[in-house]
Chains A and B, each alone.
Chain A
């Protein structure tokens, strides 16, 4: 049989495809529906939080920080209760990471505050002596892409039925409404920050990246 296959490239290629596709079909398909069911109380991200999530992705925070707490005592003691599949139901993409150069962030909103993040992003060593994290000063000047975040929220609502605008869930509305809501949310965060330029920017209607990423960090619980 193998001799025959080796003289018939088409069937050889088909044979390879069947043999390698096998595992994917068996492993991935059966649990698909069950996995994407949200845990009760899980909400999709607000537009500002989503914009912050994009900043997190833009600077590849996930290269050094995980968002997955494994069911070991050492991990639950350090980071909080272990991960449940449904908690990630609205995470597109998932951000579990594969390396913990820095600590896990899945529940960082439970134990860090806005002003801590502000100091930390500006100069990590000022709050964590010995930290090897780079400073992210550019987040204080770059503007967050709220419109792209809104576009994503609208897309997942339309295509994947993510429950935006449902009772008790974050509101989207029109772009103008969403923009206003994001700015209101940003103002609350800026009120807890000490950087005058940030306060000024938000008062003038723009949202720096750092405000968005802090909104995202605070939402991780």
Chain B
């Protein structure tokens, strides 16, 4: 075991990104809770004129969470894990420190511009790629800066062999770069015609092609951030916290390369029964089912890492978070595969079951993993003991209840809606008008809102716990090696 004192790691950038994770997490989840209640109580749409309607807020919620909370969390862990598994300190390279700082500040500028423009309704309409071309250029620069940071740090590493987490960070970097570039290809209209808004652009692809590229992106950009980068975290933080080696190197190999190969094919499952070619839909469907193998490979590897150490799950709240996260990952990937079966998709597509599926993954897997990672890092970033175990436990159960309320209500809502859309009377006529299928969902939308609210309250507890740790946690004289100390 490498002596922890041999190297003094510099966590400046990790701390910056931790702050943005907390702030943007609050923003994104708060907006999410608001729009959840808007669906149950539509009068809530009128609170801020045109800027408060569901349509304006929805992209702010999705992008705020994806590129705000989650991406900050991913970068926070990168600037922590990267140094440690490569056995090199950021302090050793002035250049990389500068790059890291520009990376963070430019990212904040980008976030601010995105928030303003989305409120104004400046959007390309493509899900998770709503930003117009000037913002896209800034995003590409931010991404390249991260790339320089990854490969720069790898370039001066002491540990020659790349640890599993690094594979996943590299993959997240390359995957998103490729997808984002191709999906956002657009022609700025002002520069061609000399008229209109200078920021406006028109997509390079039209109709069905545009849809194919968009969902090739939409499915996989989410995959390479929500899955790949989060798996990177779990491969570092779980074994570290538990003081156990990863169960199987071979399983991690299979899962990694399997995931890389299979994931991209699955985008077609967003377009089943649409006008994209039939063979592509079938490929999307088939590969979505194959996707179970690499997804469960990683999750099983996590669970088996705890083999013979299950007492830790009971004793250590952080392990509890991470094991729950892995379990939600298994559950969510299974659900995704089921929804990709064509006959199931015929019912589920366009219904609330889809946001339900998204949220058991994002709230249960991504959210829990990022929060566990931050709980693990804070005492090491600030040399202080975690503030309260009791608060952690309350948060864990509150948020778990929140997630369960969310996805169960959306299951019922989605299936109800899907069945009502297709129901017919004895003469073969449609049994329900569309509005019947809306009003029937009111109770489920309310339950979902409550679920989201519980998760949000839990997140406030998390932020408070982190804040108190930083300001008044017991000072640690040396860095804890494995289990994170908590009061």
Residues of B within 8 A of A7 (CB): 160-162
Q: Which residue of B lies closest to A27 (CB)?
A: B280
Q: Is the CB of A9 within 8 A of B151?
A: yes
B9 at the interface (CB under 8 A from A): no
- Given A63-B54, A77-B430, A149-B196, are A135 and B275 neighbors across the interface (CB < 8 Å)? no
Binary contact readout B152-186 vs A (1 if CB under 8 angstroms, 0 otherwise): 00100000111000010011001100100010000
Q: Is the CB of B216 within 8 A of A24?
A: yes
In chain B between 229 and 252, which residues have their CB closer than 8 angstroms to a CB of chain A?
A: none
A116 at the interface (CB under 8 A from B): no
Binary contact readout B128-169 vs A (1 if CB under 8 angstroms, 0 otherwise): 000000000000000000000001001000001110000100
Q: Which residue of A lies closest to B49 (CB)?
A: A138
B212 at the interface (CB under 8 A from A): yes
Q: Is the CB of B207 within 8 A of A90?
A: yes
Q: Is the CB of A83 within 8 A of B275?
A: yes
Q: How many of B's residues come within 8 Å of A, CB to CB?
A: 90
Residues of A within 8 A of B350 (CB): 66, 97-100
User: Could you tell me the distance between the alpha carbons of A156 and B189 in the complex, rounded to whole angstroms?
Assistant: 9
Please give the residue numbers on chain A whose beta carbons come within 8 Å of chain B beta carbons, in ascending order.
2-3, 6-7, 9, 12-13, 16-17, 19-24, 27-28, 31-32, 35-36, 57-64, 66, 68, 70-72, 74-75, 77-78, 83-103, 128-136, 138, 142, 145, 147-152, 154-156, 158-160, 175
Per DSSP, chain B at the interface is helix
Q: Is the CB of A20 within 8 A of B422?
A: no
Residues of B within 8 A of A85 (CB): 207-208, 275-276
Q: Is the CB of B202 within 8 A of A156?
A: yes
Q: Is the CB of A27 within 8 A of B55?
A: no
User: Could you tell me the distance between the alpha carbons of A92 and B187 in the complex, rounded to whole angstroms?
Assistant: 11
Contact of B174 among A13, A74, A84 (CB under 8 A): A13
Contact of A20 among B53, B174, B207, B280 (CB under 8 A): B174
Total A-B contacts with CB atoms under 8 angstroms apart:
258
Residues of B within 8 A of A156 (CB): 202
* 19 further contact pairs, Cβ within 8 A, besides A99-B355, A148-B189: A9-B151, A17-B178, A23-B261, A27-B265, A35-B207, A60-B125, A70-B349, A85-B207, A88-B210, A91-B207, A94-B207, A94-B208, A131-B435, A134-B46, A135-B45, A135-B46, A152-B193, A155-B202, A158-B193
- Given A98-B270, A131-B438, A152-B200, are A93 and B195 neighbors across the interface (CB < 8 Å)? no
User: Could you tell me the distance between the alpha carbons of A31 and B281 in the complex, rounded to whole angstroms?
Assistant: 13
Binary contact readout B20-52 vs A (1 if CB under 8 angstroms, 0 otherwise): 000000000000000000110010011001100
Contact of B212 among A28, A78, A87, A145 (CB under 8 A): A28
User: Could you tell me the distance between the alpha carbons of A57 and B129 in the complex, rounded to whole angstroms?
Assistant: 13
Smallest CB separation, B470 vs chain A (Å)? 34
Q: Is the CB of B125 within 8 A of A20?
A: no
Contact of A58 among B121, B171, B194, B276 (CB under 8 A): B121
Smallest CB separation, B285 vs chain A (Å)? 13
Smallest CB separation, B161 vs chain A (Å)? 5
Residues of B within 8 A of A99 (CB): 350-352, 354-355
